C-alpha cells in the first residue's frame, strides 16, 4: 500500500511538474504590461554578471523573475554577448525582447583609447567604434576640432552616447583630462602647458611605468641645462604627420623608426636641432606619464635609450651612452 502511495505521488509529480513549469514560464516571460508605453533607462556597468544584470532588471520592474532571465540567457547561449551600457527598455517588452536588446541595443558606444596616441589615431578608433554600431562619424571634423588639443584628449575607456556630437565627444575627453590633471601637484617649476608637453614625451619614450619618472627627470635636467632633449618621438610626430597626410588614416604608420638623416629634419619639433620643449604635445599621455612629468625623479643619469622590447638603459656620460647604443641598438 505504501509503495502504491509513493508511486502515485511520483507519477503525479511527473505529470504536474511540467504543467506547473509551463504555466510559470508562460507568466514570467510575458511583459510586465503589454499595453504600457512607458520606457526606462537602465545602466549596465562593465563586469556585471548575468545574475547581477537580472537583479538590475528586476529592481527596475522590467522582468518578473531573475531566475527566468538567467535560464533564458543560458538557453540562448548569450551570456558572453550581454553588453554593458545604457539601455532604453519598455515595460511592454517580453523577457525574450529584453534579452535580445541587451545583446545589441545599447544607447552607448564603448571606446577604449590607449595612452600615447595622437589625435588622428584617436579619430580612427572613434570612427571604427561608431561604424560597428552603423553610425556615421567624421574623422575630418574630429581632427579639425581638436587642432589645438593634442595632449588634452585623455586616454581612458569611455561610454559615449550614440547621439553625441563631435564637440560633445571632445568635451567628454577633455573634461576627463581636466579632472585627472587637477589632482597633480607640479613640483618642477614648469607651467601647466610645459608639464603636459613633457608628459607626452615621456609617454612615447618610456614604455614601462617604472621608467617614466626617471626619464622625466633626465629630460628636465637637460632642459634646465640648455641641452637639446634629443627625443626621437618628436621627429616621429612630424614625420608621421607628413607621411600620413595623404594616406588612409587607419593603415598609416604614425610612429615609424627614426633614421640618421631624419635627425637633420627642419622643424621646431626636431629636439636634436632645437633646444627646449617642442611647441605642443606630441601625443595624449596617460595619468602615469602626467604624474611623472609633474614629479620626476632626479638621478645621476643624463642619457637613456630603449631597445626594441621597450627596456630602458641609462648612462651618466656620453661614452657610456654610446656603449649602450652599440650593445642594445646596433
d(CA 76, CA 93): 17
pLDDT digits (tens, 9 = 90+) for 181-200: 999 999 999 999 999 999 99
pLDDT digits (tens, 9 = 90+) for 199-212: 999 999 999 999 99
Residue 225, phi then psi, degrees to nearest 5: -80, -10
The range of the structural domain enclosing residue 66 comes to 28-104
Instruction: Enter the C-alpha cell of residue 77.
Output: 547561449
In a domain, 1, yes or no: no
pLDDT digits (tens, 9 = 90+) for 133-159: 889 999 999 999 999 999 999 999 998
**Domain termination residue (choose one: 58, 73, 104):** 104
Q: Which pLDDT belongs to residue 320?
A: 94
**Domain termination residue (choose one: 75, 104, 133):** 104
d(CA 202, CA 198): 6
Q: Do residues 95 and 80 touch, judged by C-beta distance below 8 A? A: no
In a domain, 303, yes or no: yes
pLDDT digits (tens, 9 = 90+) for 230-264: 999 999 999 998 888 644 456 788 999 998 898 89
In a domain, 216, yes or no: yes
Same domain, 194 and 308: yes
- Reply yes or no on whether the pLDDT at 78 is more than 80: yes
Same domain, 130 and 96: no
pLDDT digits (tens, 9 = 90+) for 17-56: 566 666 777 787 888 888 787 878 888 887 888 889 889 8
Same domain, 127 and 164: yes
Amino acid at each position: 500500500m505504501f509503495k502504491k502511495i509513493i508511486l502515485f505521488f511520483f507519477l503525479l509529480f511527473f505529470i504536474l511538474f511540467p504543467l506547473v513549469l509551463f504555466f510559470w514560464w508562460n507568466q514570467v516571460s510575458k511583459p510586465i504590461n503589454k499595453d504600457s508605453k512607458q520606457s526606462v533607462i537602465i545602466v549596465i556597468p562593465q563586469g556585471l554578471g548575468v545574475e547581477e544584470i537580472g537583479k538590475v532588471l528586476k529592481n527596475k520592474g522590467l522582468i518578473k523573475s531573475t531566475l527566468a532571465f538567467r535560464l533564458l540567457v543560458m538557453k540562448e547561449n548569450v551570456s558572453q554577448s550581454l553588453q554593458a551600457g545604457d539601455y532604453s527598455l519598455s515595460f511592454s517588452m517580453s523577457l525574450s525582447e529584453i534579452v535580445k536588446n541587451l545583446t545589441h541595443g545599447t544607447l552607448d558606444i564603448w571606446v577604449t583609447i590607449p595612452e600615447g596616441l595622437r589625435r588622428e589615431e584617436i579619430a580612427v578608433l572613434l570612427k571604427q567604434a561608431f561604424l560597428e554600431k552603423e553610425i556615421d562619424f567624421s574623422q575630418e571634423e574630429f581632427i579639425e576640432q581638436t587642432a589645438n588639443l593634442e595632449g588634452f584628449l585623455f586616454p581612458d575607456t569611455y561610454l559615449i552616447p550614440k547621439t553625441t556630437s563631435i564637440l560633445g565627444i571632445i568635451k567628454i575627453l577633455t573634461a576627463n583630462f581636466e579632472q585627472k590633471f587637477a589632482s597633480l601637484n607640479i613640483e618642477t617649476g614648469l607651467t601647466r602647458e610645459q608639464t603636459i608637453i613633457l608628459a607626452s614625451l615621456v609617454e612615447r619614450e618610456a614604455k614601462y611605468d617604472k621608467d617614466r619618472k626617471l626619464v622625466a627627470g633626465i629630460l628636465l635636467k637637460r632642459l634646465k641645462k640648455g641641452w637639446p632633449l634629443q627625443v626621437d618621438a618628436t621627429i616621429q610626430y612630424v614625420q608621421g604627420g607628413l607621411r600620413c597626410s595623404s594616406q588612409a588614416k587607419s593603415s598609416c604608420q604614425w610612429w615609424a623608426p627614426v633614421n640618421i638623416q631624419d635627425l637633420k629634419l627642419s622643424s621646431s619639433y626636431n629636439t636634436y636641432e632645437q633646444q627646449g620643449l617642442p611647441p605642443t604635445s606630441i601625443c595624449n599621455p596617460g595619468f602615469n606619464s602626467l604624474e611623472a612629468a609633474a614629479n620626476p625623479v632626479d638621478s645621476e643619469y643624463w642619457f637613456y635609450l630603449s631597445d626594441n622590447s621597450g627596456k630602458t638603459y641609462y648612462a651618466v656620460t656620453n661614452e657610456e651612452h654610446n656603449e649602450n647604443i652599440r650593445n642594445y641598438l646596433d
